[in-house]
A and B are shown apart, each in its own frame.
Chain A
Amino acid sequence: MTYYDILRNIKTVDEVNRLVSEIDILLDSLFKADTNAFEKALNSISVVTSQALKDTFLKNNANLGNYAMIKDLLIKLKEELQKFKVLKLSLAFEVSEGSIDNLFAWVLTNLGSGIILDIKEDKKIIGGAIIEFEGKYKDLTLKKKLEEVFGSKREEILTQMSS
């Protein structure tokens, strides 16, 4: 079985969560009395996901009428989605789609596949980033730098401020 295309396009934790909830909608529809429920559900989710899933079903020779195989595929896809490693980033600004693409491209090149981003906005850090990956923690923020400076040169700064 291959999910390559659909998994390759996932970059963030938010996308994983969205995809998981869409898969849940599809899985629920498989057990409804309405025979067209699955097709209706497939059309109700986002077009991109719907198309990606249709391609996946096609590549795995799964007929849309073969509910047992579809169910198996969707459950396994959900399991695959839980296997991603998460790189957490705390940034001082709201990231654009373009920035996410750039960050993800860097991750893919330097750390390899199977890693997604969890980006949070935290204005308190002023600048720079906090990076968390596989339990490792790096605080590369401007806030920390400033605190270090204020900590080590406290007297000097206070003198200059009072003069």
Chain B
Amino acid sequence: MTLIGFMKDFNYYLNTIGEIGYVEQTTNAIIYASGLPGVKPRELVLFENGEVGQVLSVSYNLIEILVFTRDPPKAGEKVVRTNEFLNIPVGPELLGSVIDSLGNSLEDLPIQRKPMLSTRSVTASPTGILTRKTITKQLETGVSIVDLLLPLGYGQKELIIGDRKTGKTNFLFQSVLTQAKLGNICIYAAIGKKKVDIKVLKEFFQKHNILKNIVIVASGSQDPTGLIYLTPYSAMAISEYFRDEGRDVLLILDDLSTHAKFYREISLLGKRFPGRNSYPGDIFYIHAILLERAGNFTTSKGEKAITCLPVVETIQGDLSGYIQTNLMSMTDGHLYFDIDLFAKGRRPPINPFLSVTRVGRQTQSNIKREISREILSFLTLFEKMQNFTHFGAELNETTKISLSVGEAITRFFDQQPSTSIPINVQIVLFCLLWNNAKQSGSPNNEPDLAWIIKVYEANKDIRKMIDTMVQKATSFNELLGTVKQKGDELLTSINKSKYDN
């Protein structure tokens, strides 16, 4: 059942509410109507032709209405109040489906396997402080550089920022893949995307058999502006539903710079005063009220989180853009996808020095924090050393070793777009690399990563061996020692299972 399915007909509202209005002026997504004396902002209105609109603002003699159709009603058409606010039908039936921001299926098949009887307010206000909890659990993304260096927590809002075509979407795919495999719900809001991109999105999830844990809320670039504007709000409403059903949710908002552009279009058509870069004055508010709905919450079904990863595009690596800085100030950090690192072949090209995670570190165990610190300080040193090489200086042996270890760590963080590495595997592999590097200075003996992941997921004994190694260690040095002792045995077991197969 769609939003329209939940609504009554025009005459019902006309006779029960007893108020009528007339379309006076239409400008693409915005309509101005007279009448309807009791209408409230954000209320839904219904046009004579069956189209639905949402009241944006109310002035002395005209009402500003946002419509969700490409063919807006004509001047003179009747409009009625509904006394209802924008709700989206929700239910477990949504899992595995691709819907628009009003809950209509975008696929040929109907999404509903049984009727969905509950609805959620699309534009609900964020809940208060009393419902919120400190972020304490680490969220696994399956991407080594993030999980080890820039950890995220359940309920964190982490901005994904970078130029176009720098692998942001690949990172999001990896995160969704990891979270969906862990049994969490993932909501992917594709805002103003090309239809082919939406299809690719679905096919990727389908290919990895995780679609049953995913809802894609999508709007195409050709869709009505009103629908595109609503997309992240609808996705958030669906996330809230699953959170209240006792599930941890990962919400991807791809991307908010497009959303801001469409909201700017609506505002300019609505004759709002343009501000910086012609964005309206409330552009901060419309994003803040959305992102504030994410977090770690106390629910009737325990502590549940909506982790939000909003995406924003930069132009030529400029982090100081208006929307970009707005979003940085609303989120708990950002992962910066550096175009220069991308050009150097780093995948994902996340710049650990320009990225920030504000609440993620508090979720790490001591040992993970130690590893993170160790890597970061080494990488800082590595960066400095690399600068020396630019001058063509003759390098001593220690510097050469450090440089080769640095390169090995950089390679270690390189990851195929669709691979998700379990965090304990990341730690053990890093320890192997670190031991090897410290011992011989030649960390080139790199194990077959894809095979290790496969074995870890399939073989219980090896999984237990790796997990125990990480869990029992009380410090990084102790873990290094354990890995030194048992590392060869572990690799032999992994290789053995490779040859057995």
Contact = CB atoms under 8 A, between A and B. Distances in A.
Contacts of A144: 15
Contacts of B14: 137, 139
Interface in B10-60: 14-15, 18-21, 34-38
Nearest to A135: B35
Interface of A: 132, 134-139, 144
A35 B21 CA distance: 46
A57 to B, nearest CB: 31
B15 A136 contact: no
A136 B36 CA distance: 7
B15 A135 contact: no
A137 B18 CA distance: 5
8 contacts: A134-B35, A135-B19, A135-B21, A135-B35, A136-B18, A136-B19, A137-B15, A139-B15
Interface in B191-246: none
Nearest to B21: A135
Contacts of A137: 14-15, 18-20
A134 B22 CA distance: 11
Given A135-B36, A137-B20, A144-B15, 20 more contacts: A132-B20, A132-B35, A134-B35, A135-B20, A135-B21, A135-B34, A135-B35, A135-B37, A135-B38, A136-B18, A136-B19, A136-B20, A136-B37, A137-B14, A137-B15, A137-B18, A137-B19, A138-B18, A139-B14, A139-B15
A147 to B, nearest CB: 9
Nearest to B37: A135
Interface residues of B, number: 11
Contacts of A132: 20, 35
Interface of B: 14-15, 18-21, 34-38
Nearest to B19: A135
A107 B483 CA distance: 94
A29 to B, nearest CB: 30
The 5 A-B residue pairs with the shortest CB-CB distance, nearest first, are A135-B35, A137-B20, A135-B37, A137-B18, A135-B36
Nearest to B63: A135
A134 B37 contact: yes
Contacts of A138: 18
Contacts of A139: 14-15
Nearest to B15: A139
Nearest to A134: B37
Nearest to A144: B15
In this complex, the member of A134, A136, A139 whose beta carbon has the largest number of chain B beta carbons within 10 angstroms is: A136
A139 B34 CA distance: 19
A22 to B, nearest CB: 24
Nearest to A137: B20
A138 B21 CA distance: 13
A134 B20 CA distance: 9
In this complex, the member of A134, A135, A138 whose beta carbon has the largest number of chain B beta carbons within 10 angstroms is: A135
Nearest to B11: A139
Contacts of A134: 35, 37
Nearest to A132: B20
B414 to A, nearest CB: 64
Contacts of A136: 18-20, 37
A22 B204 CA distance: 69
A136 B20 CA distance: 6
A134 B38 CA distance: 11
A144 B14 CA distance: 12
B299 to A, nearest CB: 42
Nearest to A88: B20
Contacts of B35: 132, 134-135
B117 to A, nearest CB: 25
A132 B34 CA distance: 12
Contacts of B19: 135-137
In this complex, the member of B15, B19, B20, B38 whose beta carbon has the largest number of chain A beta carbons within 10 angstroms is: B20
A144 B12 CA distance: 11
A134 B18 CA distance: 11
A135 B14 CA distance: 11
Nearest to B20: A137
Nearest to B18: A137
A137 B36 CA distance: 9
B104 to A, nearest CB: 30
A132 to B, nearest CB: 6
Contacts of B20: 132, 135-137
A135 B45 CA distance: 14
Nearest to B14: A137
B320 to A, nearest CB: 48
In this complex, the member of A137, A138, A139 whose beta carbon has the largest number of chain B beta carbons within 10 angstroms is: A137
Nearest to B35: A135
B395 to A, nearest CB: 81
Contacts of B15: 137, 139, 144
A136 B18 CA distance: 6
A157 B268 CA distance: 56
A37 to B, nearest CB: 34
Contacts of B21: 135
Nearest to B36: A135
A138 B18 CA distance: 6
A125 to B, nearest CB: 13
A9 to B, nearest CB: 26
Contacts of B36: 135
A134 B36 CA distance: 8
A68 B387 CA distance: 81
A134 B39 CA distance: 13
A67 to B, nearest CB: 33
B156 to A, nearest CB: 47
Nearest to B39: A135
A137 B12 CA distance: 12
A34 B474 CA distance: 104
A136 B14 CA distance: 9
A132 B15 CA distance: 12
Contacts of B38: 135
A136 B21 CA distance: 9
